[in-house]
Amino acid sequence: MWWSSSSAAAGRRAWRAGYYLRRAGLDYIILDAQSQPGGAWRHGWESLRLFSPAEYSPLPGWGMPQQEGEEFSTAGHVVDYLQAYEQRYELRVRRPVRVREVRRAGDRLTVETDDGTWSARYVISATGTWECPYVPDIAGREQFAGRQLHTVHYTSPEDFRGQRVVVVGGGNSAAQILAEVSRVAEATWVTLRPPRLMPDDVNGRVLFGVATRKASGGAGGGVSDLGDIVMVPSVREGRDRGILHARPVFARLTARGVRWADGAAEACDAVIWCTGFRPNLTHLAPLLPGWRHGKVAIEGTRSVDEPRLYLLGYGDWTGSALATLVGAGRTAKATVADIAARLRGSP
């Protein structure tokens, strides 16, 4: 049995599945496109932080150590933890290997990579979304003479010192980037709908508890009902400076800036698109003919079109509360349990 991952975004999803595959005693391999452990955490901006304290950010079997002097762990601390976790559990990882295509081959699946071809009875795809940034098709994008970049390309607010910047997006990334860019630049926040800030006292413990109750079928709403933006220290500081005020999305981009719905124009030097991602499923095209149109039929995390394929970590359509650690952990555990049962002939 083989386990396949082809993207920088595999990160903690890969390690969760690897842990349960190892514990189940299955024959597996993790194919990682990155040259080192850490997944997408190696590619985030300089000040990127976890949304919850280390004690509520564990992988199965071994908790994340608290980072000294930090309430919310830095990206570097997360990378160190993932590397240590891989060594601790001796996970079978081969890298760098990029999966190009997965095809049917009789009673098995063929995984074609840039490092040869692999044969598998089952494949778990956990490529995530990081390599497929989404930018909305707003009029005038090609006319804008300033700089445009997505969250994945953002590194530091110093790149925008003294400029006029428009930050687009209503989630955690947008709020964090806005908070730090606004210290050195004239920043305008733009969202599709009014931003929903979580209460200050909603910390990792609260998010963990809500997600656990939801995943267990308990009453009440999920994490998303609390809001979209966790009030980490940088965002709270930005709120105290009065910069967390969003305008509705502009009607179009112009050569020099943006034009609002009322016809007013505003000049800017850069637009940062914090507008999310789409699933990275190109390698599954031979198995999922409708994926380009957002049509991926699944039962749990198992593909309906190809029952030997499982999809892990692409959004709520592959499991509930996947934005939280408890939700992602439960999904990985259930996926491996289902594969193990089918290999034993009793799904």
Residue 46: count other Cβ atoms within 10 Å of its Cβ.
13
In contact, 246 and 181? CB cutoff 8 Å: no
CA proximity to 15, closest of 58, 53, 48 = 58
Looking at the chain, list the stretches that DSSP marks H as alpha helix, in order from N- to C-terminal side: 11-23, 75-88, 172-181, 204-215, 233-240, 325-343
In contact, 271 and 147? CB cutoff 8 Å: yes
Beta bridge partners of 187: 165
Residue 240: count other Cβ atoms within 10 Å of its Cβ.
9
- Confidence (pLDDT) at 339: 94
In contact, 209 and 201? CB cutoff 8 Å: no
Homologous superfamily of domain range 147-273: FAD/NAD(P)-binding domain (3.50.50.60)
What is the per-residue burial (b if ≥16 Cβ within 10 Å, else e) of 296-313?
bebeebbbeebebbbbbb
CA proximity to 37, closest of 65, 56, 14, 3 = 14
CA proximity to 121, closest of 225, 196, 49, 28 = 28
Q: How far is CA 234 from CA 50, 78, 179, 190, 195, in A?
A: 12, 19, 6, 18, 16
Per-residue pLDDT of the chain (347 residues), as tens digits, is: 444 443 333 456 777 889 999 999 999 999 998 877 777 777 777 777 777 777 777 788 888 888 887 777 787 888 888 888 889 989 999 989 999 999 999 999 999 999 999 999 999 998 888 888 999 999 999 999 999 999 999 999 999 999 999 999 999 899 999 999 999 999 999 999 999 888 877 765 666 555 555 555 555 555 555 667 888 889 999 999 999 999 999 999 999 999 999 999 999 999 999 999 888 899 999 999 877 766 788 898 999 999 999 998 776 665 544 444 444 667 889 999 999 999 988 65
Instruction: Show me where the domains of the chain are located.
Output: 3-132+278-343, 147-273
Burial class (CB in 10 A: 0-12, 13-18, 19+), 124: buried
Measured torsion, CA atoms of residues 287, 289, 292, 296, in degrees rounded to the nearest 10: -70
Tell me which residue has tokens 């592959």: 318
CA proximity to 258, closest of 173, 168, 181 = 168
Residues whose CB is less than 8 angstroms from the CB of residue 216 and which lie 6 or more positions away in sequence, other chains included? none
In the chain, the amino acid numbered 92 is R
In the chain, the amino acid numbered 285 is A
Q: How far is CA 232 from its chain centroid?
A: 18
In contact, 138 and 233? CB cutoff 8 Å: no
* CA-atom Rg of the chain in angstroms: 21
State in words which class domain 3-132+278-343 has: alpha beta
The span from the CA of 103 to the CA of 111, in Å, is: 7
